Each structure stands twice: as structure tokens, then as C-alpha cells.
Structure 1
């Protein structure tokens, strides 16, 4: 609790990080200060600020937290049971639009495994057991850190998609549908006379972009497996299909031999290799060029 407050700056942030009531955090900090017979935080209205004594011990607290996580990982790594908690982190679209049937089959085969699915694009720390298995898109030539065990599964491609009605001669100008950090594509223009609006529309997350494209709002960049699977969407003429990275299945070196980790990895590995063509943007009987 001390470390969560020190890193979050407020009791609220610490309570959210630890998923406990804020009053529990306040009582915990109070007990620690009483035990150490020193004040660890000043408490101005803007948040909690470390005192000199608190600053002196915060690095030791981080070391204790890391050692505790390593201890848990070592014990978890010896567990050969097919029951108990198991955390999987993966991009939201992989969970909702690609792997959910696989996870349903896994759940049916091993009902005593308490699977927790963390749909997120954030890099979650496997070393401190925030997750046990991670499916990640790795950009460039990077490889997993030394403390992680990784399997490269397949390549991941993206393309530009729009509702098929936007590609007709009478359609209104299409907007570029962009994520928060995306820019209007340069170096190519939509083919077949597609008219483009001068002002783009921005979204905070990909699912909204996807639904906006399906509704006919404009052109957006999507994973090929998502855009190609929707009957209302088509690839924009002249738009490149781009290799965005590689998909890796990752586990921690200390926990990868845990039986339920191995079982989940086996299910995901088989499923993702079956999806390799879709993930690479290959369409049966259609355009298979990659650029």
C-alpha cells in the first residue's frame, strides 16, 4: 500500500491499482507509520507527498515488492494442477473477433481453471504476475526481454477499409477515420474516384473507428483479419496492405512450465497458426499482394 501511494500520488490512485477501498489504504498507511514510528507522507490537499523518511525507504519497498512477485512466480511455476487462476492479456480485437471461440473451448475442456481475460493494448508486466500469458503484436525486429519466453506465431498486416457504398459514384465525400496518434496517409490516394472530405474524424479507440467505417462514415485503418471478415467493408482501391509487426505468444521464464499455462499456450498457438492467412491479409480467390 505504501508503494502504491508513493507511485500513484493519491490514495484514490493506490486504491484503484490495488482494487481495494480507499479507507483500507489510509488504515494500512497509518499502521505502517505507527509500526515504524515515523511519518512517511505529508498530506496536502493535492495528494500524498513523500517525507524524507518515506523517500529513504521507497526503493527498498520496490525491491521487496519485486522479491515477493518473484517468490510467487517460482511457486506458481511448480504448480502442475489444472485448476486455479490464470491471467491472459491480449489486444481487445484479438479477444472479441478472433480467439473467443478458442477460449470457449479451453474453458469447456478445463472448467476448474479460473481464466481472467485482460483485453488491453498496454504492455502488462509478466514478471510481477499482472498476467501469466501475453499475446502481443511486436513492431520491428525487437525480441522479447531475456526474462520472458516467447514464440513467434505469425505476421500481422493492416489495410484501409470503407463501407462498400462509399465507393460508388454518388456517395458523399468520405472522411479519414483516425486514431488519437494517427495521421492522414501520405504517398497514396484512394482509387476509383473516391472523394475525400477535408476534415478527418478522430476516435479514442479502434472499436469506434471500426463501427464508424461500418456505418459509412469514412475510411479507416484496420487489422486485415477484422476488415476482411465484415461483409459491409471492402478494401479501399489503391490502399496498401502493410506489415504492421509480428504476433508473439509470451510467458515468464519462471512460470512457463506451469501446466495450465502450457495448456492455454497450446490452444492459442494452434488457433493463431490457423488464422495466419487472415492475419496476413490473404483472401482466398482475391488480392493476396502484400506491400
Structure 2
């Protein structure tokens, strides 16, 4: 084990618990991972993994090497953040992570103007409902629906997110403006599986009919736009979606927050600071959209 690539390979296999996942993460072929692991084990004269029912479980020696690889990775990432954090050039790649809903309803509206001001910054949007690691440099900035808990992050609340109930243009004409939640009883809804509005709807509208459910707000918005079903959505998204009209906005509950965050080592990076500050101003300009009073 003389190179970082060897340690990196062992770490990738351990995290994926097998060769196929490691090959995908390292962007090499399965045969390459197999040959390199064999070569490393031959060099050390011991096995690093036990092959158990299709899973690769580290041996005692493998565990020690994995711990060493994790320490090396941490130090490398730490050095990379510190060096990148001192970069004062308004050029290069800048990665921001956000959910699909925020990427479509917020970032897509404002980033073209940011590009006009900073044409040499290449912004990459990483649309993912899972939290990407800012410490691990998976992204440089993050839009998150609640205050980040990691102590190493610098974050700022930039918006209050209110919800509303929306329907297609045709359905909204027949339903009209809904004045109270009791009027929703017996109506058909598209619901967000596992979302914050789901539990609330079950509590306040026990007789609503969940005709269709999905795990995506984007899918839910289009389902309502193409049907006679109602849908609870963040006002920012619902107010912009093609063929949707508000029938009750804003709702008293649920109420969310929007935070922009970066790692403390990156807060002075010129690219990060430029986009961080820009998003604060963009959210302020969209205050009425976020709160459903536009």
C-alpha cells in the first residue's frame, strides 16, 4: 500500500460493500477493481475482505487500512477546502445542491441573471432530495428546507415557505375560492408521500380522498394540472406551475423555512460568496411568492 489510489480503492469497496458499487463510484470497470484488489492483497500477503454471500466484509487488516484511508481522505478534503476557500477569482465551477422543486421554482428563475453578471462562473445544479455533503465537497452551496445542524456550516435563513392548495384552471372554476378547511372534506387530492403536508392533511381534513400520491412535488403539481384533483404545494411552486390556480392560499400550516448554507472554510471563496449573497437578494425579491401573497 504505497499510493493514495490503493487506499482509495479499499475505501470505495468498503463503502459499497462490493466491487460493482466501487467500480461505479470510481468510474472504472469491474475487472479493473478486481485486478487492483488482487494486486494489493498479493503485495500485502493477506486478504483485506472476506467474500460473504455476495458482500465484501473487511478483515481485521482491512478495517485498519480503511480507518487509515478515512483519515487520509479527511485531511485531503480539509486541505482542499482551505485552499479553495482562499480562491478570490470569479471564475470556475460552482456546485449548488437543491431539491427538484427549489431548482425549478427558484434557481431556474434567478441563475440566468447571475450568469449575466458572472459569465465566467460555471454553476452546476445538483438536484437531489438527499442531503449532499458540503464537508465532503459534494457541493459548494446548499439550499435546505430547515436550519443545518452541522457545526462546520455557515447558514442563513432566506425565506419563509408557506403552502397553498391548487387545482387545474378548469377545476378551480368549479371549486371556486375555498374559505375554510371544512369545505375540503370529500374532495379528491394528490398527496406528497412522507412530506410535511401529509400528516397535517390527515389531521385537519380527515375525510379528504387521497386519490393519487407520489414522493415528488413536481409529479404532484403535474398530476393536479392534468386532472380534477386538488394538490397542496409550496406557494412558490404552485403559483408558477402551468395550468394550476390557487383555490386556498396561503395556508396557516404547514410553514417551512429556506436556508442557504456553505462550509465555513468556503465562505470567503469569491464564487461562493457571490452566489450566496445573490441568493439572499433573490429570495427577498421572491418574498411574496414564497409566502403566497403575490
Q: Structure 1 length as normaliser, TM-score?
A: 0.82
1:53 is paired with a residue whose SS is helix
Q: Deviations over 1:89-145 (max 9, x none)?
A: 11212222222232122233333333221011211110110111111110xxx5542
Conservation of the 8 A alpha-carbon contact between 1:155 and 1:243: no
**C-alpha RMSD of matched pairs (Å):** 2.6
After TM superposition, list the pairs within 5 Å mapping 1:28-107 onto structure 2: 28-44=36-52, 46-107=54-115
Check 1:210–1:42 CA distance in 2 against 1; reply closer, same or farther (3 A cut). Answer: same
**2:154 aligned to which of 144, 149, 157:** 149
Rounded Cα–Cα distance in structure 2 between residues aligned with 1:60 and 1:257: 30
Deviation at 1:152, TM superposition (A): 1.3
Name the structure 1 match of 2:290: 279
Determine the structure 1 residue equivalent to 2:182: none
Q: CA deviation at 1:188?
A: 3.6
**Which residue in the other structure is 1:213 paired with?**
224
The answer for the alignment partner of 2:4 in structure 1 is none
Mapped partners of 2:291, 2:267: distance in 1: 28
Q: Counterpart of 1:288?
A: none
Whether the aligned pair in 1 keeps the contact of 2:225 and 2:242 (CA below 8 Å) is: no
Match of 2:202 among 171, 186, 200: 186
SS at match of 1:254: helix
Q: Which has the higher helix share?
A: 2
How many residue pairs align between the two structures? 272
C-alpha separation in 1, matches of 2:255 and 2:25: 31
Answering whether residue 224 of structure 2 is matched by residue 235 of structure 1, we say no
CA distance change for structure 1 residues 174 and 26 in 2, over 3 Å: closer, same or farther? farther
One of 156, 162, 165 as aligned partner of 2:167 = 162
- In structure 1, what is the Cα distance between the partners aligned to 2:256 and 2:95? 24
Residue 286 of structure 1 corresponds to none
The CA deviation string for residues 187-226 of structure 1, in whole angstroms up to 9 with x for no partner, is 4449xxxx954x5322132211110010124122211111
Could you tell me how far apart the structure 2 residues matched to 1:115 and 1:31 are? 40
Question: By how many angstroms is 1:264 displaced?
Answer: 1.5
CA contact 1:81–1:260 (8 Å) conserved in 2: yes
In the alignment, structure 2 segments of 5+ residues that lack a partner are 1-8, 176-185
CA gap 1:34/1:102 in 2 versus in 1, 3 angstroms: farther
SS in 2 for 1:225: helix
Q: Counterparts of 1:272 and 1:238 in 2: how far apart (Å)? A: 19
Q: Normalising by the residue count of structure 2, what TM-score does the alignment of the two structures yield?
A: 0.81
